[in-house]
Each structure stands twice: as structure tokens, then as C-alpha cells.
Amino acid sequence: MSAHALQRNIVVTAPPAMRLVPGKRPSVEDLYPRLFDAILEQRIVPTSRFTEEGLAQEFGVSRSVLRRVLARLAEQQVIILRPNLRAQVAAPDAEQVKHILEARRLMEVTVVQLACAQTNPGQVRRLRELVARQRACVEQGQQGPAIRLCGEFHLLLAAIAGNRPLAQFLNSLVPLTSLVIARQGAFSGTWREQTEIVEAVERRDAGTAAGLMSRYLDHLESKLS
């Protein structure tokens, strides 16, 4: 198989809805969700190696913007960057998944309790917006964006908690969990569970919020084990 044919198998053309508006200068914030969604939807084949040039052309962005997004995804362990080698989508094995979920359990029960003590109405509104967007994506069959938004909910909770080391640690675990969820397929959404968590956080009911988060993680572990 030629190198050109191999590249065609690695990256599939993004649908029109994912392309930027003509004339708009693309930014990291524009490209990050588009590229992450493409990975979650396996339009970029898992474990494949791809070139910066190919991705920049496919998504219609500059290589400098692309490199910054790749660096962000590498920090989140979604892709692997090595010197002098092409970037590669991560493929965590069963043992790694087990360790990720164990770490999330230790962190996120504490995070949601801290969030209950720190939250304000504006932050609760942002949480509800993420839940509503996830629900809309699920109902429209947009699995990649729905999974990404599910993860962003947990990262926003960590930001609300106000503990920077915890937030940074979860930033390296939650997106990688999203990648594993996407590979399992048949994502049905978590917006119902997240709605209950938001209601507990809004009431500043740390005990209920912690119990709901623990139950959510039990459910996630049972699906991914």
C-alpha cells in the first residue's frame, strides 16, 4: 500500500458541520473539540499514526494551531507524542483503564464535595448548560460530542472545586476515559445522573453529591470493566 493510500485510511474527511466558517481565523479553542470529536468518533483510526501536515490540511488550520492542540491532547494522554515520530492516538489496555478509574474515584468524590462548598449560581448555570448540550447531542445521535461534553462536565466540577492540583490531575484522566468510552460504543449519555449531581451541588448537599458521584463511577466502572 502506498504512503498516500495509508494516509487516506488514517484520516477520514470531516463532515461539513465540523469545518470552520470561511474567513474565520481558526484558534486552538476552535480546533480542539473538532479534533477530539474526530478521535472519539474514530474518524481518526485508533492507534494510527498521522502527520501534522495531513491533519492541518484536513481540518483547514495552520500547523502552529494544530501543534498547540496536539500538545493539549498529549497532556491529556489522548494522543502520544514522541520526538521524530508521528503522533499516535492512545490505546490504554485493561490494566490502565482499571488504574484510571481507581484514581478518578479517589479524586472525584472529594472534588464534588469541594464544589458544593465553593459553587455560585453562575457556575451552576454553566454545569446545567453542559448537561443540556450533552443531552441534545445524545438525542441527535452525535456520540463524539456527547462523550466529550460528558467529560467536560467533570472537568468543570474540578475547576469549581478550586483545588488546582486536583483539577490538573483529572485533566489527565477524564479525557482518556472519554477515549475508552468511545471505543466501547453505544454511549447512551449520562445527563440524567449529571442533572442529579448538579441539583445536589446547587443545594450544597455534599453528602448526597458524593453518593451520587460514587454511584456514577460504579456505573462507569461496570461498563468499562
| Residue 161 CA to its chain's centroid (Å) | 19
* pLDDT at res. 187: 83
- pLDDT for 104 equals 95
In the chain, the domains with their CATH numbers are 3-89 (1.10.10.10), 94-224 (1.20.120.530)
Average pLDDT, consecutive stretches of 10 residues, N- to C-terminus, the chain (225 residues)? 33 39 73 94 77 87 93 93 86 92 95 97 98 96 94 97 95 94 84 97 98 95 87
Residue 215 phi/psi, 5° resolution?
Answer: -65, -40
Angle in degrees, 0-180, between the axes of helices 206-224 and 94-118, rounded to the nearest 10 = 160
pTM: 0.84
* Core vs surface per residue 196-213: b (16+ CB within 10 A) or e: bbbbbbbeeebebbbbbb
Per-residue confidence (pLDDT) for residue 186, from 0 to 100:
63
Buried b / exposed e across 96-123, counting CB within 10 Å, b at 16+? ebeebbeebbebbbbbbbbbbeebeeeb
Q: What is residue 194's predicted lDDT score, i.e. its pLDDT? A: 97
Q: How far apart are the first and last CA of the chain?
A: 36
